[in-house]
Structure 1
């Protein structure tokens, strides 16, 4: 059995970047993709926290993008050649959308990964997700727009909040 989430991460990242494309040229596309991949990686690691969880999704498959396509109005792939769409995970996509739209939630999510099985070994780097600079923000203007992401983010936001440590910020 494999514990590799790379097919889910790659397909879900591709779905996000096609649904909320970069504004600009090749560099903007690359910056947008990195931000999406970091958010998707955090979301996938939270959704599938153990090697067994990851192996099971590898066997059963994540479910595909059909509902997400309907929510965003993307519709089906016209030529049916996009087999990668079967590897899109709806929950991971929704959670990634939450993280991209809400920096505080992204920070809590990365904190929740500490000590998990996915973060053993080399430390993971999520700077473009947690602290995007001006270039990152311009490139991913659509990808990080809370109003545009809301229909996708709301699908499974409550399940993500259940996985995150409590927010201890004081409100006045």
Structure 2
């Protein structure tokens, strides 16, 4: 069984950075991707907190990006054709809608992001792994400029609102984040 969330994290990060691309050149693109990957990683670790949870999503699959594509307006390839019809978008099947929604919420709310990162300590995914999510929880000016679209609350609102109440409930006072 696969207990690794890396395919889900990679696909969901790719979806976010394609839907909300970087503003600038190669450095901006890299900074935007790092921020998206950190948000998606935190969201995925919260969504699938145990090795067993990760293994189960690895077997069943996360569901894909169809609804996210429709909501964000990225459901066509630029020519008016639906995405994925030519076989080049198979990665989209590994996008997790809940993880993308939670990541969008984390990217637009620094307090929620800090709370989420704090909630990861002691979980299956963080054992023996140094955690550093600085670009997510305290981005500098260059990070913010690079990810202007990715961190824009109005642009991400439709995605963040999909499952944002679940994340808020999970991170709320008195909740056990990691079993």
Residue aligning to 1:150: 157
Residue aligning to 1:116: 123
How far apart are residue 166 of structure 1 and its match?
Answer: 2.3
Distance 1:90 1:114 in 2: 24
Consecutive unaligned residues in structure 2, runs of 5 or more: 76-81, 175-179
2:112 paired residue among 105, 111, 125: 105
1:164 aligns with 2:168: no
Summarize the alignment of residues 125-140 of structure 1 with structure 2, pairs less than 5 Å apart.
125-140=132-147
Consecutive unaligned residues in structure 1, runs of 5 or more: 168-172
Residue aligning to 2:33: 33
Q: Name which of structure 1's ranges 62-71 and 114-123 shifts more when overlaid on structure 2.
A: 114-123
TM-score, length-normalised on structure 2?
0.91
Residue aligning to 1:170: none
Distance 1:61 1:123 in 2: 27
